[in-house]
Amino acid sequence: MKKILLLFIFYTGLYNGMAQQANTDYITQININLYDVGDIQNHPTGLFQLEALTNEGNTNCMNWLGILYNEGLGVEKNENTAFELIKKAASLGNSTAAYNLGRFYMIGTGCDIDFDKAKYWLTVSADQGNERAAYGLGYMHYKGFGVAQNYKTAVSWFELSNFPMAKHWLGICYYFGYGVVKDEQKAIINFTKSQTPNSNMMLKHIFENVRQSVDSNLSMQINENETPDNAAIAKETIEKTIDTRLTDESKTEKKVIKPKYLNGKWKGKLIELDWSGKEITRILPISLEFVVHENEIEYKWKLNNYVTENTTILEDNSLYFENLNMTLDLPFSDNSLSSTLNWQILSAQIDFKAINKKTYLTANIETFTSEWQEPGPPMRLILKDVNEASDELSDEELIAISTQKDKFIAFYPNPFVTDVLIAYELENDAKVSVSVYDLSGNNTLINLEQETLQKLGPHHYTLDGTNLKSGMYIVRVSVDNQVHTRILIKQ
């Protein structure tokens, strides 16, 4: 609160005579973007003084001025200037600026998206005692954003921070047993310490025994009987089908899935997992129907009695959707204004498993929610032909269909607005070329890398999409003449 009040006083002095609403808008923008304004005891009263103190080497003022340039408040918006100011302040040891610099690298503000540098500067800031930076690192590890997903690492960072949302997520970890032994009392203690609306909602869920209701509902979903739209798939089948030991497609012989293989009606389960991909959090009955024509694939998606019909693109064993959405209940919603969340389904990486004359269609689902501006947790589809018998799978069959292939090309974010990070990892030295094509009929070609010998290990590029039109783009990475593709969406 002290930081916000100081910012308000500074902003009032800086823009004397402007509408009071502008003050509120400014503070709101700062909070939404999660920038840290730091703590200045002798705050400047105007832009001239702020610039003068910045030129004298005051790193707090450098940080403030950088935020103003980034938001375009009182000065002409300039992300490059913002980046340079905050980078200089961070390099001079300012922990607040180090946090902001980490945020800049994470979203590509005035620089290329670089998660390694983001993690480095957030760690520098956290080591200097910045509570928000420790929370940010915990959140990244909790959901696996830019780093390997790890609940235990997330918990260790949350425990180092007194930032209210760090206490909230620490409470979540104790409530569900993520990275720690499940402990409802410790969850309540941390939710109470947080004192955020999010934690207050979780306390309400605890006192109303919502988890018992959710567990009961999950059991009911698993034990549903066979219907024309719903395949009876036992819990053991589902659990063993969800194998987190993903096999990279570059390690195995690639099977090309042709559109005609999809033709027909399928039924089964949509399975939502926790962020580790190891625990089932939701199971929903789903049916899918594909009608393949010469130049397009029509689909009918039925979930929660809601039907979506449209066309899809099959590319490199993945289905890509442009306008497929699903709204799901949030049984543990921490938003008092809404108990649902809308997911945009971007793609479904599909695979067929034929075992003992029975065929299963499995898929890894990639989602995005505009409400959180984040990708969703792991989701899977397990489907079988409606004409298949409802016999359960044997243990051998379960193991056989459990392996899913991981995507060779990774994006962040997807969909994107301006810049997007394109990344992949080579297992051996190889000749590589990287290009981007427009699928909207504009014949746009962007060469990010001509054929070049690259060393084994991770590689990444930042695509500047500022001037690209909205639509779908295909990214192709050729590795020793083996082509990997994936579709990217520009909002």
Tell me the domains of the chain and their CATH numbers. 2-191 (1.25.40.10), 216-406 (2.40.128), 410-490 (2.60.40.3880)
Residue range 182-210: average pLDDT? 89
Residue range 317-345: average pLDDT? 85
Q: Please provide residue 161's backbone torsions phi and psi, each rounded to the nearest 5 degrees.
A: -115, 140
Residue range 88-107: average pLDDT? 95
Give CA 44 to chain center in angstroms: 38
CB-based burial label for 224 (10 Å; 0-12, 13-18, 19+): middle
Residue range 135-155: average pLDDT? 94
DSSP codes, 289-341? EEEE-SS-EEEEEEETTEEEEEEEEEETTEEE-SS-EEEEE-TT---TT-SEE
Q: What band does 18 get if pLDDT is binned at 50, 70 and 90? A: very low
Q: What band does 67 get if pLDDT is binned at 50, 70 and 90? A: very high
Helical (H) or strand (E) element with 135: helix 131-143
Residue range 295-308: average pLDDT? 91
DSSP bridge partners of 365: 348, 379
Q: What's the mean pLDDT when you consider all of the chain?
A: 80
CB under 8 A, 24+ apart: contacts of 363-368: 363/319, 364/404, 365/270, 366/414, 367/343, 368/343, 368/344, 368/413, 368/414, 368/415
**Which residues, other chains included, contact 387 with Cβ-Cβ below 8 Å and sequence gap of 6+?**
none
Helical (H) or strand (E) element with 475: strand 471-479
Q: Nearest-CA neighbor of 27 among 9, 43, 44?
A: 9
Distance CA 432, CA 453 (A): 6
Of the candidate ranges 45-49, 343-347, 374-378, the one whose mean pLDDT is the lowest: 45-49
DSSP state of 126: H
Residue 206 has a pLDDT of: 87
Distance CA 489, CA 491 (A): 6
Residue 4 has a pLDDT of: 37
Q: What band does 35 get if pLDDT is binned at 50, 70 and 90? A: low
Residue 284 has a pLDDT of: 87
Residue 171 has a pLDDT of: 95
Within 13 Å, how many C-alpha atoms sit on residue 76's CB side? Answer: 1
Model confidence pLDDT, tens digit, residues 255-289: 788 999 999 999 888 888 899 988 888 888 899 99
Q: Is 305 left (phi over 0), alpha (psi -120 to 50) or beta?
A: left
Q: Is 179 left (phi over 0), alpha (psi -120 to 50) or beta?
A: left
Residue 355 has a pLDDT of: 63
Residue range 299-319: average pLDDT? 91
Residue 244 has a pLDDT of: 41
Is residue 232's pLDDT more than 70?
no
Model confidence pLDDT, tens digit, residues 362-410: 899 999 988 888 899 999 888 888 887 665 554 344 444 544 556 788 8
Higher pLDDT, 382 or 250: 382
Residue 280 has a pLDDT of: 82
DSSP codes, 357-397? TEEEEEEEEEEEETTTTEE---EEEEEEETTS--PPPPHHH
Is residue 428's pLDDT more than 70?
yes
Is residue 25's pLDDT more than 50?
no
Is residue 148's pLDDT more than 60?
yes
**Which residues, other chains included, contact 250 with Cβ-Cβ below 8 Å and sequence gap of 6+?**
408, 427, 479, 482, 484
Pairing of strands 457-464, 247-248: unpaired
Is residue 36's pLDDT more than 70?
no
Is residue 254's pLDDT more than 80?
no
Residue 443 has a pLDDT of: 61
Residue 13 has a pLDDT of: 35
DSSP codes, 254-286? PPPPPGGGG-EEEEEEEEEE-TTS-SEEEEEEE
Is residue 34's pLDDT more than 60?
no
Helix (H, G, I), strand (E, B) or coil at 433: strand
| Tokens matching residue 88 | 């200089």
Residue 415 has a pLDDT of: 82
Higher pLDDT, 442 or 118: 118
DSSP state of 251: G
Higher pLDDT, 478 or 6: 478
DSSP bridge partners of 432: 452, 479
Residue range 134-145: average pLDDT? 94
Model confidence pLDDT, tens digit, residues 164-191: 999 999 999 999 999 999 999 999 999 9
**Which residues, other chains included, contact 180 with Cβ-Cβ below 8 Å and sequence gap of 6+?**
151, 152, 155, 173, 174, 186
